[in-house]
Structure 1
């Protein structure tokens, strides 16, 4: 199928999917209100095969040290799949399945599959990374840019993490876990019972971001948008908490955004 943009609909909810621009969700409209920041770099993009930053762009796989391009010097950031064109495997009025074959600079062959499923009150995103060859470490995550303002008061973010990853001067976790601190944030938090973060636009909408995964990065240092990023491990996780993709065990993750009108 073509990699041109298309729209899924369910009730008064609409999702724009952009296969040719990194397999991202380009927009989510509920009752005509656009929840995601617009633009080529925004919307909500998948982070694969790693999330956040890799220190100096390097990670170890057994005895091998792999070097990724430093697209956020001095680090590599947010994986490679957001830079490529995905293929549409199938789609219906309210669901789409996209695939992406891992290529250079990622050193291992593999395939990423993403499912975008819309209902009248929720959007569910699911991803899997699989290999039919060499095993390799990987991470899965999503990086949504939620609009701070929907035409009223600014969004309010609420969550109750068990800990915050202490952030070093290089923006990477130091390895220490500390008591959660008040924002503004560009930080990773641990939620061992699963990610659960609410975004409330007073008088308009409440959006609950949930995931069975145990890690979430919250970024609210920009004026225009707030990011809530469920992921399978912390930044630099290919080095500190690798999850192995094998021919028998793909890496899978999912997140659901459920909204309630206020």
Structure 2
């Protein structure tokens, strides 16, 4: 679309759609698309919470707020992925987008995303601020990496070594127990106390590393076409169970770095 923001550096390009939730619609390296292209895929931002919010209920102090249920029985992935974003600034390889927090989120604030592209990586940065009232917040990104790309000699491979897995109940919320990582398939959250680090490999084509200072990552392996590795600043329902409070003097900053190197000269 004409209002999309396109960044480029070396053989890498990124296309960001301000009118579609500030999402990344495309990431190409050496002319190869790495992200799924169906509506609602690509890579979207999750804020002011990431993953599932239990039964859509947010409790702050002695008050409980009800958010819309869009992934029964829970609310999922925040509110700003459904909003249009304002382009604050853009250059050839960097863009800054902003979105106000408004209803149905009960607190006034702002989310700012910064995208910085180099020849060998993309940095995603987010800041969540409040206008005045403190509130709990989380942030992260939900990419949909293609399993099969033409230059690769095989399907996408995932390598990561979490310390534990959050046991998931039938409502897809953590039960409170930490368990040894189970074999896939996964729609699960894992803890990496020293920071998230995961490696994706398209054999014979590209090695892709995801790193972040945050210590939780959701891995979703169920779609046939794609794989999601979602670094985020807290576990599902963390607004209620492990709240990180944003105040006027203490914003929430979240950063995820994607880095790649080609395995051949493709």
- Report the 3-state secondary structure (helix = DSSP H, G, I; strand = E; otherwise coil) of the residue aligned with 2:148: coil
Q: Is the 8 A contact 1:21 1:40 kept in 2?
A: no
TM-score normalised over the length of structure 2: 0.96
Match of 1:213 in 2: 214
Match of 1:180 in 2: 181
Match of 2:249 in 1: 248
TM-score normalised over the length of structure 1: 0.98
Matched, 1:32 2:34: no
Cα distance in 2 for residues equivalent to 1:253 and 1:13: 23
Q: How does 1:103-182 map to 2 (within 5 A)?
A: 103-151=102-150, 152-182=153-183
Corresponding pairs, count: 261
Shift of 1:41: 0.1
Match of 1:191 in 2: 192
Cα distance in 2 for residues equivalent to 1:59 and 1:82: 19
Match of 1:47 in 2: 46
Deviations 1:42-69 (A, max 9, x none): 1110100111111110020000101100
Cα distance in 2 for residues equivalent to 1:3 and 1:33: 22
- Report the 3-state secondary structure (helix = DSSP H, G, I; strand = E; otherwise coil) of the residue aligned with 2:181: coil
Shift of 1:222: 0.7
Cα distance in 1 for residues equivalent to 2:197 and 2:84: 30
Shift of 1:6: 2.0
- Report the 3-state secondary structure (helix = DSSP H, G, I; strand = E; otherwise coil) of the residue aligned with 2:50: coil
Runs of 4+ in 1 over 2 A off after TM superposition: none
Shift of 1:74: 1.0
- Report the 3-state secondary structure (helix = DSSP H, G, I; strand = E; otherwise coil) of the residue aligned with 1:114: strand
Cα distance in 1 for residues equivalent to 2:157 and 2:172: 24
Gaps of 5+ in 1: none
Cα distance in 2 for residues equivalent to 1:205 and 1:182: 25
Match of 2:261 in 1: 260
